Structure 1
Amino acid sequence: MSDKEIDRADVIRDVCERRLRRKDAATLLSLTERQVQRLMNQFRQSGIEGLVSKRRGKPSNNRCPDKFKLYVLNLIQQYYADFGPTLATEKLHEDHGVDVSRETVRRWMISCGLWIPHAQRKPRVYQPRQRRDCLGELIQIDGSHHDWFEGRSPKCCLLVFIDDATGRLMHLRFGDTESTFDYLAATREYIEKHGRPLAFYSDRHSIFHVSKRDAHTNRITQYGRALQDLNIELICANSSQAKGRVERANQTLQDRLIKAMRLEYVNTIEQANTWLPCFIDDFNRRFAKPARFPKNMHRPFVGDVFDMDDTFAWHDTRVLSKSLTFQYDKVLYLVEPTEENSRLAGEAVKILDYPDGRIAVMYGERALECRIFDKLAEVDQGQIVENKRLGAVLSFAQKKQDEMDRADQRSRSKSMPKRRAQLRAIGRNPALD
């Protein structure tokens, strides 16, 4: 007997012995009074066995024929042996015209050993990884999106740098989004404060990792290129559990950091980035552990501030046309036609797009002087006449502006850095000043 039938037997016994009214028993069992009377008759006639369902052990009237079941299982074994029940059900309906429920297919596949339920699968084993030996040997990095200011400011992202050997918070930085420029800015601040670590350990975000479908274009990301220039190894984890130290730190920060900012009346990103060093010192005093060996593996940065600027800029390449022009982010750049530059037609030049909106054009180690014409800026025809050299180009752009009058066609290139596009959108055109 089932537990439900055992409980029902106690109620029916009380009704038969007049300790309970039939109406109350119907309410307790969620049955009608007539059904309670039938159960009483069965109990008086056969005892407690009379309350056992007569259908137990018998096949359902709506069951599928055994011949149909074998036909479906043969199709699954022949074509869909490694499919899941849901996908196998869809393919049976689409390719073979077999209509059967997903749950039925799942039970049939389990009975034949073609599918193992998740409850019966062996759990995956994640062996713990020992901490690194020295400070700066491996720095785990991650971005945590959260309502950090509890509605006092818009939701933002916290970039977390934590040392693997000690569990120390090395650096924190708030940003609007988890973008390449935000990581480059945070990494620059880290290096200026601590030096260059041996390696950064991150997830497989597109900022750090190039997927296979994009591998034919660039084999390395902008962030990976910057770390390569700094001689820092970038390691991408296969799972969140692999970089569990920074993931657990994010959970702690989402509890303690939020409450600390509330008590300190920190309400904006700018205030938080200024106040964060105080929180980092208090956090490390409570939770940091000593490294196995006292050696600090951070290395100083060799170079000046200009080298640092170039390293953490967005790098791209363009090929100069015969007229010594190239286009970048829907802006036409004209290289000064000096005798030395006239030999560069058809050569590739490197574009350095700085976070503050500046653009530098390099050919090898030499900087090229350029003038720009922004096709998206409003142009006055009178100014076109004054500029002798850009007259033909500006005339062509004027016609294009008349055609591209809708706002959706006058947007910046989506492939360009987000911060750069925003700065350019509100900037003036130096060629027209």
Structure 2
Amino acid sequence: MSKKERRRAVVMQQLYNKKLNQREAALELCLSIRQIKNLFKNYKKYGDEGLISKKRGSPSNHQLPKVLKEKAIGLILENYIDFGPTLAREKLKEKHGLNISISSVRNLMILANIWHPKKKKERRVYQLRERRSSIGELIQIDGSPHDWFEGRAEKCTLLAYTDDATSRLMELKLVPSETTWNYMNLTKSYIKKYGRPLAFYSDKHSIFRVNTETIGKDSLTQFGRALTQLEIKLICANTPQAKGRVERLFRSLQDRLPKELRLHHISSIDEANKFLPIFIEDYNKRFSRLAKNPINAHRSFDGFDLDLIFTLQETRYLSKNLILQYKNTLYQIKTDRPTYALRKAIVNVLEKESGEVIIEYKKKSLDYKIYHEQPYQGEVISSKLLNHKVDQIKKKQYKPSRNHPWKAYYPRKQHLSL
């Protein structure tokens, strides 16, 4: 007997001994008087056994029909054998019209030896950080190298931008690897679509942060410099747990996205990037949430030239001949103004992803002519002159010491006029 049935047996015994009436027994067991009458009738006829449910041991009236169970298991074995219960349930409903609960799908998969329940490990507890209140206040960005095509193509990296306030997927893009150009291009696309967020939250990858101690603290990477020009704050997390939302996002994406690409017969980066907007829309419907504050924190990018900001930028000094060197190439400035105005001037060199170079002085573009440096060709000499040539090279590299007679100072002799 169960605990509830034993409790009923005690009350029925008191009712039989007339220590309680039917109304008091009903209040004691939280049942109606009609139910008390039926229980008491069975108790007088069969004793304690009359209080045991007759349905015990028989199949539940709420279980799935056998035909539906067999159909669901067959579809899972045929199409979704490596899916988890949640994702398998979604596909059964979307593609096959089978509306079965997640727990029922899980139980069916366990019975069919498809799904093996994992023992929950005791996890270290970290202090929770409250979400930001508005969309666009804090955007978490990261990249995840993974076999996204399950061997049908080479391994690549998925770049993801997710909003901290809503867990909404803002941008996704598959790229060969994490590079400055890939982050610049995706950030430019993000800003054109949504506007400028208040801050980006990333790890300490060298794309986002200068990790060399010998360089000054104020040094910026090319990506960091671009965000500074756009008045977007870049915050770097100390630990992976600090940016847990984007880490958990990638755990879900590594489970869901490869299976979606397989179901849609996608096996290349270009095809996958065309499919990702559809995936993002479906993902946000399932997992995003409303922000506490409905105000959008994104700002307009009017007045910012994104094509110039998202370039590789370095400074150079112009020589007396208005020449500068950048990546083994000489650039001579062409100008109609007097050349002395630009001598020793500091100019900005901007390189686009296409390789096009723009030279700016006081935010104005300068015309230039390119001179490619010729690589030094080795001089051919005979073996008889080899030692003489090495001696000449040695003499060119020799520098006299400070106390060498050549560097001594001799005051001029004063000639007295007679």
**Secondary structure of residue in 1 paired with 2:279:** helix
Name the counterpart of 1:416: none
- What letter matches 1:195 in structure 2? G
- What letter matches 2:378 in structure 1? E
**Secondary structure of residue in 2 paired with 1:322:** coil
Written as runs of structure 1 = structure 2, the 5 A alignment for 1:124-143 is 126-143=126-143
Question: What is the CA deviation profile of residues 161-190 of structure 1, one whole-angstrom value per residue up to 9, with x for unaligned ones?
Answer: 001111110001121111111111010011
Contact 1:137 1:297 (8 Å CA) reproduced: yes
Question: In the aligned structure 2, how far is the partner of 1:190 from the partner of 1:280?
Answer: 14
Name the counterpart of 1:213: 213
Name the counterpart of 2:245: 245
Question: In the aligned structure 2, how far is the partner of 1:149 from the partner of 1:200?
Answer: 29
| Structure 1 stretches of 4+ moved >3 Å | none
Name the counterpart of 1:196: 196
Aligned CA-pair RMSD: 1.9
Per-residue deviation at 1:318? 0.8
Name the counterpart of 1:316: 314
| CA gap 1:368/1:259 in 2 versus in 1, 3 angstroms | same
Question: In the aligned structure 1, how far is the partner of 2:347 from the partner of 2:178?
Answer: 29
- What letter matches 1:371 in structure 2? K
Name the counterpart of 2:119: none
Pick from 378, 399, 404 the counterpart of residue 403 of structure 1: 378
Contact 1:331 1:372 (8 Å CA) reproduced: yes
Contact 2:350 2:357 (8 Å CA) reproduced: yes
Name the counterpart of 1:228: 228
Contact 2:144 2:250 (8 Å CA) reproduced: yes
Contact 2:335 2:367 (8 Å CA) reproduced: no
**Secondary structure of residue in 1 paired with 2:126:** coil
Contact 1:324 1:342 (8 Å CA) reproduced: no
Name the counterpart of 1:335: 333
**Secondary structure of residue in 1 paired with 2:225:** helix
Name the counterpart of 1:180: 180
Unmatched 5+ stretches in structure 1: 1-122, 376-396, 405-433
Name the counterpart of 2:269: 269
| CA gap 1:150/1:125 in 2 versus in 1, 3 angstroms | closer
Per-residue deviation at 1:216? 3.0
Question: What is the CA deviation profile of residues 358-377 of structure 1, one whole-angstrom value per residue up to 9, with x for unaligned ones?
Answer: 110000122111111233xx
Name the counterpart of 1:30: none
Question: In the aligned structure 2, how far is the partner of 1:340 from the partner of 1:270?
Answer: 51
Name the counterpart of 1:365: 363
**Secondary structure of residue in 2 paired with 1:361:** strand
Computing the radius of gyration from Cα coordinates, the structure with the larger value is 2
Question: In the aligned structure 2, how far is the partner of 1:222 from the partner of 1:340?
Answer: 33
Name the counterpart of 2:299: 299
Identity %: 48
Question: In the aligned structure 1, how far is the partner of 2:339 from the partner of 2:249?
Answer: 53
Per-residue deviation at 1:144? 0.5
Question: In the aligned structure 2, how far is the partner of 1:196 from the partner of 1:372?
Answer: 36
- What letter matches 1:240 in structure 2? P
Per-residue deviation at 1:218? 6.0
2:278 pairs with 1:278: yes
Per-residue deviation at 1:215? 2.5
Question: In the aligned structure 2, how far is the partner of 1:268 from the partner of 1:340?
Answer: 55
**Secondary structure of residue in 1 paired with 2:377:** helix
Per-residue deviation at 1:151? 2.4
2:134 pairs with 1:154: no
Question: What is the CA deviation profile of residues 208-267 of structure 1, one whole-angstrom value per residue up to 9, with x for unaligned ones?
Answer: 112252423861111111111111111110000000000010111111111111111222
Unmatched 5+ stretches in structure 2: 1-122, 380-418
Per-residue deviation at 1:136? 0.9
Q: Give TM-score, length-normalised by structure 2.
A: 0.59
Question: In the aligned structure 1, how far is the partner of 2:177 from the partner of 2:214?
Answer: 22
Q: Give TM-score, length-normalised by structure 1.
A: 0.57
| CA gap 1:203/1:217 in 2 versus in 1, 3 angstroms | closer
| CA gap 1:341/1:369 in 2 versus in 1, 3 angstroms | farther
Per-residue deviation at 1:338? 3.3
Alignment size in residue pairs: 257
Question: What is the CA deviation profile of residues 47-73 of structure 1, one whole-angstrom value per residue up to 9, with x for unaligned ones?
Answer: xxxxxxxxxxxxxxxxxxxxxxxxxxx
Question: In the aligned structure 2, how far is the partner of 1:341 from the partner of 1:249?
Answer: 57
Structure showing the higher helix proportion among its residues: 1
Name the counterpart of 1:169: 169
Name the counterpart of 1:81: none
Name the counterpart of 1:374: 372
Question: In the aligned structure 1, how far is the partner of 2:219 from the partner of 2:208?
Answer: 11
